[in-house]
Amino acid sequence: MVQVKQDVCDFCGTCVSVCPVDAIELLEAVLIIDQEKCIDCMKCVIVCPLRALEGTK
């Protein structure tokens, strides 16, 4: 599971573009990860420049 630290994220959208299953949705000031779609590939966690995403298995 990937969790978003909403207070760290600056909503740049970088993670959205790397997700292979389109599980990340960026609303105005909220980042939502669809846990049903997410396959725990950790691409978003690696790519986030602010380390706003945390992966836990």
Residues forming contacts to ligand SF4 in the complex (CB under 6 A) are 2, 4, 9-15, 18-19, 21, 23-24, 31, 33, 38-44, 48, 50, 52-53
CA 11-17-21 angle, to 5 degrees, is 115
Sign of the CA dihedral running 7, 12, 14, 15? positive
Closest distance to ligand SF4 from the beta carbon of 25 (Å): 10
Minimum CB–partner distance for residue 37 and ligand SF4 (Å):
7
Q: Which C-beta is closer to ligand SF4: that of 28 or that of 39? A: 39
